[in-house]
Chain A
Amino acid sequence: MLEIKNLHVQLEEEDKKILKGVNLSLEAGKVHAIMGPNGSGKSTLSYVLSGKKGYEVTAGSAHLEGNDLLAMAPEERAAAGLFLAFQYPVEIPGVGNMTFLRSAVNSQQKLRGEPEMTAGDFLKAVRAKAQNLKIEPDMLKRPVNVGFSGGEKKRNEILQMAMLQPKMCILDETDSGLDVDAMKLVSQGVNALRDNKRTFLVITHYQRLLDHIKPDIVHIMAAGKIITSGGPELALEVEKNGYADLLEETA
């Protein structure tokens, strides 16, 4: 699904290298988790993959189903099936959540050359999916993320994911700012989208999210590289011993 090879990235504004040769191969239908200490480059990886400005790729490649991601505009990456659930979803006053969702769904369908969803079908789909995530109808009318609690913002991200039906979902510290109940709700939303075709990359500091979203493979990232990979037991080890041991082993 997603092939990342020897990815080197630095900040555009300053000469600071952040990713120093990331290699990842994510198969269809699998859930991969990336854990790592602060500043290891986890969030940068998610931004570079989704096309945020301010980063310069100095070497390496990233392909989604064979398509060169790095050559595409952010909206084209989305239409190709990539989705990033933001760590800090952006507030957009004055634009209704529903209007935003509709624009996103329609735009992607247009970019892919598919027929647009009718207003009725769209409304039905949103209502059903919102209900599963315990999103009140009122939240759909309100401006995008404005006045939403931390939990509401994250549920709103998952609602967008559910509506857009991406092939490759990246969750950037979706657990940050969530209480236990909210984390369960968000995880249920994510788990409902798991199937043998859709791939997830879950970025997190903590093991506890992985209790709810069970990963197939866990990668540990440090200083801009994947330093080790393993099964779910790797996350438990980190939870118990911290990163220090792993960092020493690979040093």
Chain B
Amino acid sequence: MASSPSSNISKKLCLDESLWANCGQWIKNARLSAAKRVEGQGLPKRRDEYWNYTRPDAFLKEKIDFDVVSNKSFDIFSNNLSTVIDYEDGVLKEKKLPVIPGCSIESLQDAAKLDEHWAGAVYGVPEAAGQDPVKRSLAALNTATASQGLLLLVSGKVKNPIKISAVSNGSIDSTIHHIVKVEPGAEVTLIETGHYGARANVVLEVEVEKDGSFHHIRVQDGQQHNSLTHIFGRLGPNSTFKSFTLSVGGTVTRNECILELLGDTSSATVAGACIGDDKFHHDDTVFVTHGAPNCESRQVFKKVLRDGAVGVFQGKILVKEGAQKTDGYQISQSLLLDDNCQFLAKPELEIYADDVVCSHGSTSGAIDEEALFYLRSRGVPKTKAIDLLTLSFIAESIEEVENSELADALLMYLTAVLEVR
């Protein structure tokens, strides 16, 4: 019954009193227009081009049919943070949000009570823009129904990272919508760790204005969780956007990242690494649009698969007419630890400017036998040697993380994850 939710979404939305209690006008408008997008487009189907490799079923089923076993999370990124904001089972834990110099933090649920809010100009806007040319109806559904999320208005250079730490131990279906607006010349680093629910639909919309900088580090752990995430980023002149995601657990995960470089000399990096086995299915779907000249973008993805795991990469660079001197780069690589796993890659370039540099590559390979022998000849047992080479394989993507302290923390975390695997 995958088709019913879309046709009834506005109706359902109107009936869902929890969404409308004390609701201000700006959010009503945003939710209703998002609901219309879902109705107009319909929900994803298996024969849709961009759902060819990942079945949308996991995100469409009315009910989630598994119980999540509580799992221990490694404590990652605990030093030098501006603040930590906790989510438990998809709900913000803090009653009072911290005050940080250079950044105001509000909850979506509080802001929704007001009739007017700065977020009205952002909430659902990059998401709506990101529906063309590829439909992303589940993101619109998120905009229409999310009642939890954070609104970050960054006006200064925030020195230390802001961390969102999510835990969920129950059979929770959660919808989270975060918004970040980086004002001219401002800077912030946002870290997200854990999982918001047994099944989560997460949207992060980011507007980076002139000379602004947004860094994002995400660690997705968990066990049988299903996650669908969308990042919609829009970059102003000379701005920087960098996002890195490490996924070490979950069942079906699809991380979409849709970026538009709208101002000259802006720069975007989206990178990620994942490790999984058995029923692990990990999909990175990236769409970078160069809409202004002299911009650069990088996509760097590494997947380590074992014992039946499936990795998917669909990455596109679209260079619009007039976006001259574009420098686009894309690489996706998989390390297949046995013969049972699969890596499905679909790199795409679509270029309408004549003075650009765009390169892409994709590889699949097994463990390097020379390197394995070298390590073993030094006394390192085979399993440990494979772990070290796995780390070596992923390390290249972690190099995309500019903050060396955070990059080191990721490597240490990864080492710990490999040890208990």
Inter-subunit contact B378/A78 (CB<8 Å): yes
A83: B residues at CB distance < 8 A:
377
Chain A residues 184-242 with CB under 8 Å of chain B are none
Q: Closest approach, in angstroms, between the C-beta of B385 and any C-beta of chain A? A: 8
Give the interface residue-count category, chain A: 20 to 34
Query: Is B339 located at the chain interface by the 8 A CB criterion?
Result: no
A53: B residues at CB distance < 8 A:
369, 373
Query: Is A59 located at the chain interface by the 8 A CB criterion?
Result: no
Of B120-128, B176-184, B240-248, B386-394, the one touching chain A = B386-394
Query: Is A62 located at the chain interface by the 8 A CB criterion?
Result: no
Give bound CA distance, A50 to B392, whole Å. 24
Inter-subunit contact A95/B392 (CB<8 Å): yes
B393: A residues at CB distance < 8 A:
94
Render B118-144 as a binary contact track against A, CB cut-off 8 A, 1 for contact.
Answer: 000000000000000000000000000
Chain B residues 4-48 with CB under 8 Å of chain A are none
Query: Is A27 located at the chain interface by the 8 A CB criterion?
Result: no
Neighbour of B381 across the interface among A50, A75, A92, A99, CB < 8 A: A75
B369: A residues at CB distance < 8 A:
53
Render A87-99 as a binary contact track against B, CB cut-off 8 A, 1 for contact.
Answer: 0011011110001
Chain B residues 353-381 with CB under 8 Å of chain A are 368-371, 373-381
Inter-subunit contact B384/A107 (CB<8 Å): yes
Query: Is A41 located at the chain interface by the 8 A CB criterion?
Result: no
Give bound CA distance, A111 to B411, whole Å. 26
Neighbour of B395 across the interface among A52, A95, A111, CB < 8 A: A95
Query: Is A2 located at the chain interface by the 8 A CB criterion?
Result: no
B398: A residues at CB distance < 8 A:
94
Inter-subunit contact B371/A92 (CB<8 Å): yes
Inter-subunit contact A93/B370 (CB<8 Å): no
Q: Which residue of A lies closest to B385 (CB)?
A: A75
A108: B residues at CB distance < 8 A:
378-379
A78: B residues at CB distance < 8 A:
376-379
Inter-subunit contact B376/A95 (CB<8 Å): no
Give bound CA distance, A89 to B378, whole Å. 12
Given A53-B369, A75-B381, A104-B380, residue A93 in contact with residue B374 (CB < 8 A): no
Inter-subunit contact A93/B373 (CB<8 Å): no
Neighbour of A164 across the interface among B371, B379, B382, CB < 8 A: B379
Give bound CA distance, A182 to B11, whole Å. 79
Give bound CA distance, A55 to B368, whole Å. 17
Render B268-298 as a binary contact track against A, CB cut-off 8 A, 1 for contact.
Answer: 0000000000000000000000000000000
Query: Is A36 located at the chain interface by the 8 A CB criterion?
Result: no
Give bound CA distance, A107 to B376, whole Å. 10
Q: Which residue of A lies closest to B387 (CB)?
A: A103
A31: B residues at CB distance < 8 A:
none
Chain B residues 385-421 with CB under 8 Å of chain A are 385, 388-389, 391-396, 398, 411
Which of B368, B395, B396 has the most chain A CB atoms closer than 10 A to its own CB?
B395
The residues of B with any CB-CB pair to A shorter than 8 Å are: 368-371, 373-382, 384-385, 388-389, 391-396, 398, 411
What 6 pairs between A and B have smallest CB-CB spacing?
A: A94-B395, A78-B379, A108-B379, A74-B376, A104-B378, A90-B374
Other A-B pairs beyond A93-B392, A143-B395, 6, CB < 8 Å: A75-B379, A92-B371, A92-B389, A103-B380, A108-B379, A111-B379
